Amino acid sequence: MHSAVVHLQGSSLQVHLVSEGEATTTTVAEETTVTGEELVGEGETHAAVSKDPGPIVPEVKELAWGAGSFIVFALLMRFVLFPKVKKGMDARYNSIRSAHESADTERADARAEVAAYEAQLAAIKAESAKVVEAARATLESERQAKLAEVNAGIAERRAAATAQAEAARTAARDQIHAAVSDVAGRAGELATGRRPAAGVVERVVNEVMAR
C-alpha cells in the first residue's frame, strides 16, 4: 500500500510516496494554497493525506438501503396507508353528508309542523273569536232584557209610589182644607158673632190654598 507525505516549504510543495520502504519524491515549484488542516512548526508544515472516502460521500449500500426503504414506504403509502386514509375520509364525508341530509329533512319536517300548528292556532283563534262574539251577543241581549225588566219594575214602582203620594197628598189636602175651613168659620164666628156661610168659607179657603 502506498502512502503520501506532503511537505510545504516556502513556495515549494513536495509529495513523497512511500511503499514498503521505497520513497518517491515529487517537487512542484509553484505557489499553492493549502486549505486542509495545517500543522505549524519551525518553518515547515506537514499534512497527512488519507485515501479513505470523505465523511459526506454516501456509500453504495447506504444508497441501496435508502432507495429500498423509500420504495417500500412509497408502496406502503400507495397500496396500504393511502387506501385506508381515503376510505376513512370517504366514510367521514358520507357520514357528514348523511347527517346534513338528515338535518335538512328534520328541518323541513319541523317547518311543516310549525306551519300546521300555526294554521291550527289560527283556526282555534277564529273559532274562539266566534264563540266569544256569540257569548257577548247573548250576554248583551240578556242584559238588555234584564235592564228592560228592571226599568219596567222601577217604572211600575215609581208609578205606584207616585199614586200613593198623590193619594196621600189629596187626603192630606182634604184634611187640611177641612181643618182650615173649620178654623176660618170659627174665626169668623168669633169676629162677627155669627158663623159665616159654608160657601163663603169654602171659597176663601180655596183662594188661600191656591196661592
Q: What is the pLDDT of residues 64-99, one digit of tens each?
A: 898 999 999 999 888 988 999 999 999 999 999 999
Domain that holds residue 21: 3-50
Q: Is the pLDDT of residue 103 over 90?
A: yes
Query: Mean per-residue pLDDT for 197-210?
Result: 67
Q: Is the pLDDT of residue 4 over 50?
A: yes
Q: Which of 173, 187, 171 is nearest to 201 (CA)?
A: 187
Least confident window among 53-62, 108-117, 118-127, 141-150 = 53-62
d(CA 109, CA 102): 10
7 phi/psi in degrees, rounded to 5: -120, 125
Query: Mean per-residue pLDDT for 164-187?
Result: 75
Average pLDDT, the chain: 75
202 within a domain of the structure (yes/no): no
Q: Is the pLDDT of residue 46 over 60?
A: no
Domain count, the chain: 1
91 within a domain of the structure (yes/no): no
211 within a domain of the structure (yes/no): no
Cell of 116: 300546521
162 within a domain of the structure (yes/no): no
pTM: 0.36
32 within a domain of the structure (yes/no): yes
19 within a domain of the structure (yes/no): yes
14 within a domain of the structure (yes/no): yes
The residue type at 33:
T
Residue 172 has a pLDDT of 75
Per the model's pLDDT, the better-predicted residue between 9 and 154 turns out to be 154
Q: Is the pLDDT of residue 203 over 60?
A: yes
181 within a domain of the structure (yes/no): no
* Four-residue CA torsion sign, 149, 154, 157, 162: negative
